[in-house]
Amino acid sequence: MPLLEVDNLTVEFPTRRGILKALDRVSFTIDKGEILGVVGESGAGKSLTGAAIVGLLERPGRIASGQIRLDGSRIDNLAPEPLRRIRGRRIGTIFQDPLTTLNPLYTIGRQLVETMQTHARLSDSEARRKAIGWLERVGIPAAAQRIDAYPHEFSGGQRQRVVIALALCAEPALVIADEPTTALDVSIQAQIITLLKDLTRDHGTSVMLVTHDMGVIAETADRVAVMYAGRIAEIGPVADVVRRPAHPYTDGLMASIPSLEHRVDRLRQIDGAMPRLDAMPDGCRFHPRCPRAFARCTEQQPELMAAGATQAACWLHAVS
Amino acid sequence: MFDSDFAYSFRKSPVAVASAIIALILVVAAVFAPWIAPHDPMDVASLSLLDSFKPPVGMPDADWSNVLGTDNQGRDVLSAIMYGMRISLLVGFLSVLFAIVVGIAFGLLAGYAGGITDTILMRIADVQLTFPSILTALLVDGVITAALPRTMRDALQIYVIIFAIGISLWPNFARTVRGSTLVERNKDYVMAARVIGVPSWRIMLSHVLPNVIGPVMVIGTLGLGLAIIAEATLSFLGVGLPPTAPSLGTLIRFGDDFLFSGQWWVTVFPGLTLILMVLAINLLGDWLRDALNPRLR
Amino acid sequence: MTQHHRHTLEAVAVSHRFDVSRPWLQRIFNRESKRFLRAVDNVSFEIPTGTTFALVGESGCGKSTIARLAVGLYEPSDGDILFEDQPLSSARAQPALRRRMNMIFQDPYASLNPRWRVSDIVAEPIRAFRLATRPNEVQARVGSLLAQVGLTMRDGEKYPHEFSGGQRQRISIARALASEPDFLVCDEPTSALDVSVQAQILNLMRDLQQRLGLTYLFISHNLAVVRHMADRLGVMYLGRIVEQGPAETIFRTPLHPYTRLLLDAIPDLEQVGRSRTPVGGEIPSPIAPPPGCAFHPRCPLANDRCRTEKPAHTTTGDVQVACHAVQEGRDA
């Protein structure tokens, strides 16, 4: 049984212009110890998916239908209090801006100790010892002294290390990392990614890695879900999605990334822009920008279907 | 600015709608007073002492020609209030306008020029803000009135009051405008104008000013309430407008003498009107602040 | 253009310091001296006309300061910047020359005045330089500029908030082209955009360069983008250019340890699932840069000389590099 099952998740935002469907029947699973990358452009719904799983949807957004199951039991319909307990003990979170996670008024040691003590029975000295251990593991030098420092005394990269320690110290089964390296410089980003990868492998933690950076996913994830306009366009093993993309959107996305290896005269571009939530086209949501669209694409919305080694929501792969 | 979101947030706020309706009624009553007021309180010839101290409707001996009763000279209280609001609103509006113009000019200059200009202008504002604004207004009013020749005092009094209240309010505007200017002047659209060599004064007026005006409208609305109160206070203290042009404050002061001899209506109705007016304006200001603040939306 | 200039822009030993002292009164009380941040330290480069020179580096390396120096938004503290062989300040004093340089900014949300209509935004340089005066003439120019960047005349009636990030960057480019420039400073023009939109903007910029013979100073933190755009390349670290030369050469055989670190740190699509040992350490604060070579605390090749002596630029083939290890041949 997979650790996390997201089943036909639909998230809506009621507005005065009508109900906007920000996520439309999104389904995927994450196995134990697996890293699932979720990639897409801004507004594709990737962060929203993560927020829905941990019950942090911003109002007035709401889960309109579908189920989210962790270890087989539903977590999408929990009351705030049990949900809060799951968040932290069973699911850790890492966000782009470490300052949204760290409380500026408490030392990082206190935050680590409190997090561990709310989720496990630990004496103060034991918790502190463990906290120092976590800081060492995430690569904070002189952890025994730095544990009593406040968040502002750390650099951006180190703060993100502390956030990783905070997300992992309760030993959750799943970590949701939303653009964990976007605010960091490349050399620091490489450190953080390696750290996240090593730690989660050592603890057998599953990761949902949300990012717009296909390169980060290629290096880190086992499988990847490509999102477009609130739906999953393609999902499959990273190597297959990157090398043999089955969905024309994934294909265009890969081709539009400039390469370090060779220089081309023109990048292949996807013309136009992702449709806005209040102006979704009929049929496949990608068809107005798709170079391979045909009649069926304009009429009928495709669901995920087998396409080589991956699954793609594209009529090109329909078995006629 | 008056796009559909704005109108929507207005319709969604019952307080804002109610305040707007009250404010609108009061403003219409004031502006059109000469045409719609039942009597002309300024026309001394029409007054008769026989009509003095008629009580408002609902009390014995009342009649419908003086709905809110009359004062000691037989003046219709409702009409006096309508004419008084005219003056109160005029003084409030003009003094806030004056404060806005001064505040925007100094705030833009301080924020955009920075350095010593900023330091001097803002320290002046800081010092002034340590005094209650009514004290500043009293002081300015007193000094100017004393300096004016006696014969001109009554004729110029209204301008002196506008100036005094305006001066007492400008630091609020200047500080807000300066703060927003500091943010805006470092934005890339200002850089883009500087790259092609647009002169600083033009950048201030055409680029920065339209982007800092939003908060000014909010404190301008709230300031209007303050200015009306300030004028009423000055008039109540007897240093405000002359009796020839009675504002709400003046009416309250006159009526105050009769409060304990039973003719409460002479002072209570102008007082209630003042409260209603300032309350409506302040609630509108609060709503405007929330509506213009994207973080609260 | 009557004269042909080999170089559109030249920077000769340019430095720029920012005063980061605390306010005067606090300084007096705490007996502190003034403090300076050396954002740009002795930087020299030249941009041949019609080519793209790119500056790449991480935050705090001074690349955006150079962008602003290059269009005269800042004055260099030391050194000279020449625009077509004239000092930049005197070039900028003449509208006919000032017109020929313009800038494209990173944040498409902050670079367009939210209260202005797009047509007025694009028309601003036209009006400022009086390239057209009659309203219908201005409108015609705005229309053709919008068309050049793939927008329509009707888009001119709208306000910036009605556009997506990519479209805003197109508007920004149209405005930059409105003064009919030869030289454009592009400060991270695609960093705020999604990759598929980034491809559109990069293609557009390349097209425009070919069609109009533009010279670009291209600032970016993204090496892949730089590789796509640059003819020549400078790699910056803490205010200095540590390596510069033809982009092809540097990407093929990076010399400076920092350039190698950067190239190695970029996650690459073509290396699915690679594992590696990233270089540790943080970027030091430019207020108190390390002595000697600023990169020595993170450098795998650092020795005592690197810790004390600032390396000078030496030329190897087409490439200039500032590194003791490379000069001594310790880099193999």
Spatial distance between the Cα atoms of C184 and C1, rounded to a whole number of angstroms:
16
Q: What is the pLDDT of residues C221-242, one digit of tens each?
A: 999 999 999 999 999 999 999 9
Domains along chain B with CATH numbers: 84-296 (1.10.3720.10)
Measured between beta carbons, the chain A residues lying within 8 angstroms of C276 are: 190, 194
- As a whole number of angstroms, the distance between CA A228 and CA A39 comes to 9
Chain-chain contact of B188 with C115 (C-beta, under 8 angstroms): no
Among A155, A158, A242, beta carbon nearest to C269? A242
Between the alpha carbon of residue C5 and those of residues A164, B37, B181, C47, C182, the distances in Å are 54, 80, 40, 11, 12
Predicted local distance difference test score (pLDDT) of residue B293: 67
pLDDT (tens digit per residue) in C131-154? 999 999 999 999 999 999 999 999
Domain boundaries, chain A: 230-261+282-311
Contacting residues of A for C282, CB less than 8 Å apart:
155, 157-158, 188
Q: Which residues contact A246 (CB under 8 A, 6 or more apart)?
A: A234, A236, A307, A308, A310, A311, A312, A314, A316, A317
Give the model's confidence band at B61: pLDDT under 50 very low, under 70 low, under 90 confident, else very high. Answer: confident
Output A56 or A247, whichever has higher pLDDT.
A247
What residue type is A221 in one-letter code? A
Q: What is the pLDDT averaged over residues B188-206?
A: 94
Residue A123 contacts C, CB cutoff 8 Å: no
B116 touches chain C (CB under 8 A): no
Distance in Å, alpha carbon of C38 to nearest chain B alpha carbon:
20
User: Does residue A207 sit in helix, strand or coil?
Assistant: strand
Question: What percent of chain C has a predicted confidence (pLDDT) above 90?
Answer: 75
Name the residue among A41, A187, A218 with its Cβ closest to that of C279: A187
The band of C54, judged by pLDDT with boundaries at 50, 70 and 90, is very high
Over 80: is that where the pLDDT of C280 sits?
no
- Mean of all residue pLDDT scores within chain A: 91
Q: Please give the pLDDT value at position B296.
A: 45
pTM for this one? 0.87
Of A255-269, C18-32, C151-165, C250-264, give the lowest mean pLDDT range.
Answer: C18-32
- Closest CB from C71, C110, C116 relative to B195: C71
| Average pLDDT rounded to a whole number, residues C285-290 | 86
pLDDT at position C274 over 90? no
- Min Cα separation C321/chain B (Å): 32
Q: What pLDDT is recorded for position B39?
A: 83
Say yes or no for a CB contact (<8 Å) between C128 and B198: yes
pLDDT tens-digit readout, A75-134: 998 898 888 888 878 999 998 888 888 999 999 999 999 989 888 888 999 999 999 999
pLDDT of residue A232 exceeding 80, the answer is yes
Phi, psi angle pair for B47, to nearest 5° = -80, 145
pLDDT at A18: 84
Residue B47, pLDDT > 90, answer no
Residues of C in Cβ contact (< 8 Å) with B187? 110-111
The full set of domain ranges for chain C reads: 108-180
What percent of chain C has a predicted confidence (pLDDT) above 70? 97
How far is it, in rounded angstroms, from Cα B131 to Cα B137?
10
Q: What percent of chain A has pLDDT over 90?
A: 63
The residue type of C149 is V
pLDDT of residue A248: 96
- Tell me the per-residue pLDDT of A102-118, one tens digit each, with 9 for 90 and over: 999 999 999 999 989 88
Reduced to 3 DSSP states, what percent helix, strand and coil does chain A have, rounded to the nearest 5?
Answer: 40, 25, 40
In this complex, is the C-beta atom of C3 within 8 Å of any C-beta atom belonging to chain A? no
Pairing, β C183-187 against β C215-220: parallel
- The pLDDT confidence band at residue C1, using thresholds 50, 70 and 90, is very low
Residue A235: name the closest of A251, A223, A243 by CA: A223
| C178-214 pLDDT tens trace | 999 999 999 999 998 888 889 999 999 999 999 999 9
| Best of C18, C115, C168 to mutate (most B CBs within 10 Å, chain B) | C115
Residues of B with Cβ-Cβ distance to C106 under 8 angstroms: 188
Instruction: Return d(Cα B41, Cα B37) in angstroms, integer.
Output: 9
Q: How far is B127 from chain C (nearest CA, A)?
A: 18
pLDDT range class, residue B1, cuts 50, 70, 90: very low
- Token pair in block for residue A266: 């023109």
pLDDT score at A320: 65
Q: Quick check: B294 pLDDT over 70?
A: no
- For residue C332, name the pLDDT band (cuts at 50, 70, 90): low
Residue B210, chain C, CB below 8 Å: the answer is: yes
Q: Indicate which of A160, A254, A269 best probes the interface with C, i.e. most C CBs within 10 Å of its own CB.
A: A269
Q: What would you report as the CA-atom Rg of chain C, rounded to the nearest whole angstrom?
A: 21
| pLDDT, chain B, mean | 87
The residue-averaged pLDDT of B195-215 equals 93
| The predicted structure's pLDDT at residue B297 | 39
* Predicted pLDDT at A189: 87
* A229 Rama sector, left if φ>0, alpha if ψ -120 to 50, beta otherwise: left
Whether C265 has its CB under 8 Å from any CB of chain A: the answer is yes
Contacts of C99 in chain B (CB under 8 A): 196
Choose the closest CB to A256 out of C164, C199, C277: C199
More confident: C118 or B116: C118
Q: How many CB atoms lie within 10 A of CB C88?
A: 24
Strand order in the sheet with A35-39: A91-94, A174-178, A206-211, A35-39, A223-228, A231-237, A310-312, A305-307
Cα B6 off chain centre by:
24
Contacts of C268 in chain A (CB under 8 A): 215, 218-219, 260-261
Chain C touched by A197 (CB under 8 Å)? yes
Mean of the per-residue pLDDT values of chain C: 91
DSSP labels for C47-64? EETT-EEEEE--TTSSHH
For the cut 70, the answer to whether the pLDDT of residue C3 exceeds it is no
> What mean pLDDT is predicted for residues B234-247?
83
Cα B166 from Cα B84, distance rounded (Å): 20
Gap between the Cα atoms of A206 and A224, Å rounded: 13
B153 — pLDDT class (breaks 50, 70, 90): confident
- Choose among C166, C197, C266: nearest Cβ to A215: C266
User: Is C166 near chain A, with CB under 8 Å?
Assistant: yes
Please give the pLDDT value at position A72. Answer: 92
State mean pLDDT over B146-160: 86
* Nearest CA-CA partner of B51 in B67, B72, B68, B37: B72
Interface test with A, best of C272, C276, C285, C295 (most A CBs within 10 A): C272
Q: Is the pLDDT of residue B182 over 90?
A: yes
**Residues 6 or more apart whose Cβ sits within 8 Å of residue A123:** none
Our CA dihedral for C60, C62, C63, C65, rounded to 10 degrees, sits at 120
pLDDT classification of C329: cutoffs 50, 70, 90: confident
Lowest mean pLDDT among A261-275, B204-218, C164-178: A261-275
- Smallest CA–CA distance, residue B20 to chain C, in Å, is 26
> How far is B37 from A284, CA to CA, in rounded Å?
67
What per-residue confidence (pLDDT) applies to A295? 94
What pLDDT score does C113 carry?
95
Q: Is the pLDDT confidence value at C160 over 50?
A: yes
Q: Is A41 on the interface with C (CB under 8 A)?
A: yes
Whether residue C271 and residue A214 make contact (CB cut-off 8 A), yes or no, is no
Q: How confident is the model at residue B265 (pLDDT cuts 50, 70, 90)?
A: confident
With CA atoms as reference, the chain C residue closest to B198 would be: C128
Using a CB–CB cutoff of 8 Å, tell me whether B192 touches chain C: yes
Contact flag C114-B211 (C-beta cutoff 8 Å)? yes
Contacts of C98 in chain B (CB under 8 A): 196-197
Is the Cβ pair B197, C98 closer than 8 Å? yes
